Amino acid sequence: MVLPERPITILIAALGGEGGGVLADWIIAAATARDYPVQSTSIPGVAQRTGATTYYVEIYPAKISELGARRPVMTLTPAPCYVDVMVASELIEAGRAMQNGFVTRDRTTLIASTHRVYTVAEKMQMGDGRFDSAVVLKAARELAKRAILFDMQAQANAAATVISAVMFGALAGSGTLPLARADCEAAIRSGGKGAEASLRGFAAGFDAAAGPAPSKTVTPAERKRLSGSERVRQTFPEETRAMLEEGAARCAGFQDRSYARLYLDRLEPIVNLDHAAEGYKLSNETGRFLALWMCYEDVIRVADLKTRRSRFERVREEVQAKPHEPLHIIEFLKPGVDEFTAVLPRFLARPLKALAEASGLAKKLNIGMHVKTTSVSGFLALRFLAWLRPLRPLTSRWHEEQILIDRWLVAIATAAKRDAELALEIGLCGRLIKGYGDTHQRGKGNFLRILDTLVEGDVVPDDRARIDAIRKAREAALADPEGRKLELSLETHGIAPLPPRPKPVKFMRRPQPENRRVA
């Protein structure tokens, strides 16, 4: 009998609580049931500072009964360039394995989840310290003999199980093990508790790795009947689903299901122009800022959030109020002309804003209000504003935001046809639109300034130079709320800077000291 030359080597990287040890036990149980020699060791990690806990398994694909007195010699630790299957429960752990030489193009099948659990080094940054996932995805496709990449955590959540069950399914579905699907499922069932949920996760991972049955083309009529999450799963790439599902759900909560469909309709042309090799970064970043922008903060939104049952429950939990103890919540609000006119139709909002500007009352009519939302009158007052949600598409603010959103998306799509990096820089300008009140006005002003001059203007005709100019202008706008750094950045391209915003000087009467009699 011709025996295999060497064992099959499997390296697993899993974070604490993800069931990495259970996964190793399942592999051992399935291999033992098939009468294969198998060996496993583990090396603990330290909360992603030095890496996840790793489990190393070797399976010799020949039955013990056929070996007679002979036994294979197996190693206790993995060696670079000698790993057949690398399984990672999180994307950066896959990157760490590649960096350590455990993934090679001539040998290794890489099975990794694309979701992120952020490291301590990423969280401690003052700004956005996240590592670029697209770099790891690109390296995985280039360095591995075969790369199986999908969001295993999402599959685990849907099956109400831990990610190790999905990892086991992906490992079995990859065809790299000398184990049949039935052998693996039998190993899960032998575990007893939670087996049904684990089997659901296993099936999801197996189908994702082996490739699901081809689905029929979704017609436009059928697409309208789908929920946001169903449409995302059926019509958008795997790398974009987590972001787009979250964005669609946010838009549905902000307005309704048709608004969520509009969100996906707006993104679909951009996704079609995006590139899988780049990890669909343009689609994800545009989808993120589009969802935030489409769900802008108006008085209807604020009133809705402040009167939700979940908010009262959260506040009660935060202050540790007991069930029998009364809770009083007072909202401190200061609406002005902009907030008032934002919920009016355009034909009323325009003359009122013009009159306020002309009379100098635009900044003087901000009225401080204390609304007790735990009282009947205060709750009903805010709830009445929240009930105006169906009328939101008739408001002036809605009209203004939708026009500017469409203008931004057209600029992204136009740039994507020429240069993906230019399109991404334009998409990232959506970060400037945030907050409410003066913060929102300043951010929108900076956004329009960049859009008018660098994006739609022709002061920088070369696309490569335009990419750098937009990036520097956006960073300058984020670094200075007053906009002076942005104007200095634009001035380097020959754009005349705008004058500083006027700051009125207020004179306050000094209080007179009280006359005190000394006894």
Per residue, the 3-state secondary structure of 303-339, as one string, reads HHHHCCHHHHHHHHHHCCCCCCCCCCCEEEECCCHHH
Structure tokens at 516: 């005190």
User: Looking at residues 255-269, what average pLDDT do you find?
Assistant: 92
Higher pLDDT, residue 509 or 261: 261
Mean pLDDT of the chain: 86
CB burial readout 77-97, b (16+ within 10 A) else e? ebeeeebbbbbbbbbbbbbbb
Strands (E), 44-126: 53-59, 85-88, 109-113
User: Looking at residues 342-370, what average pLDDT do you find?
Assistant: 80
Q: Which residues contact 426 (CB under 8 A, 6 or more apart)?
A: 408, 411, 412, 415, 455, 470
Q: What percent of the chain has pLDDT over 90?
A: 39
Span of 189-193, 393-397, 427-431 with lowest mean pLDDT? 189-193
Residue 369 β-bridge partners: 333
Asked if pLDDT for residue 406 goes beyond 60, the answer is yes
Boundaries of every domain in the chain: 8-210, 217-295, 299-392, 395-499
User: Looking at residues 87-96, what average pLDDT do you find?
Assistant: 91
The reported pLDDT for the residue numbered 511 is 74
The reported pLDDT for the residue numbered 467 is 92
295 band by pLDDT with thresholds 50, 70 and 90: very high
Q: Which residues contact 439 (CB under 8 A, 6 or more apart)?
A: 481
CA distance 442 to 316: 35
319 band by pLDDT with thresholds 50, 70 and 90: confident
The reported pLDDT for the residue numbered 47 is 52
User: Looking at residues 231-250, what average pLDDT do you find?
Assistant: 86
User: Looking at residues 187-213, what average pLDDT do you find?
Assistant: 84
Which homologous superfamily does the CATH classification assign to the domain defined by 8-210?
Answer: Pyruvate-ferredoxin oxidoreductase, PFOR, domain III (3.40.920.10)
User: Looking at residues 16-44, what average pLDDT do you find?
Assistant: 89
User: Looking at residues 192-214, what average pLDDT do you find?
Assistant: 81
Phi-psi region of 119 (alpha: psi -120 to 50; beta: other; left: phi over 0): beta
Phi-psi region of 439 (alpha: psi -120 to 50; beta: other; left: phi over 0): alpha
Asked if pLDDT for residue 355 goes beyond 90, the answer is no
Span of 1-10, 51-60, 306-315, 400-409 with lowest mean pLDDT? 1-10
pLDDT in tens, 481-499: 778 898 899 888 888 888 8
Using a 10 angstrom Cβ sphere, with 0-12 exposed, 13-18 middle and 19 or more buried, the burial of residue 218 is middle
Residue 434: strand, helix, or coil: coil
The reported pLDDT for the residue numbered 133 is 85
Q: Running DSSP on this structure, what letter comes out for residue 219?
A: P
The reported pLDDT for the residue numbered 14 is 87
399 band by pLDDT with thresholds 50, 70 and 90: very high
The reported pLDDT for the residue numbered 217 is 53
Give the Cα-Cα-Cα angle 256, 262, 265 (nearest 5 degrees): 150
CA distance 215 to 65: 44
Strands (E), 248-401: 330-333, 369-372
Asked if pLDDT for residue 50 goes beyond 60, the answer is no
101 band by pLDDT with thresholds 50, 70 and 90: very high
Using a 10 angstrom Cβ sphere, with 0-12 exposed, 13-18 middle and 19 or more buried, the burial of residue 444 is middle
Strands (E), 363-519: 369-372
Span of 324-338, 352-366, 444-458 with lowest mean pLDDT? 352-366
363 band by pLDDT with thresholds 50, 70 and 90: low
Q: What percent of the chain has pLDDT over 70?
A: 91
User: Looking at residues 11-31, what average pLDDT do you find?
Assistant: 89
Number of helices (H), then strands (E), belonging to the chain: the values are: 24, 8
User: Looking at residues 424-441, what average pLDDT do you find?
Assistant: 87
4 band by pLDDT with thresholds 50, 70 and 90: confident
Q: Running DSSP on this structure, what letter comes out for residue 334?
A: -
CA distance 246 to 240: 10
Q: Tally the C-alpha atoms within 13 A of residue 477's C-alpha that lie toward its C-beta.
A: 27
Can you give the length of the chain in residues? 519
214 band by pLDDT with thresholds 50, 70 and 90: very low
Asked if pLDDT for residue 393 goes beyond 50, the answer is yes
Higher pLDDT, residue 216 or 167: 167
Asked if pLDDT for residue 49 goes beyond 60, the answer is no
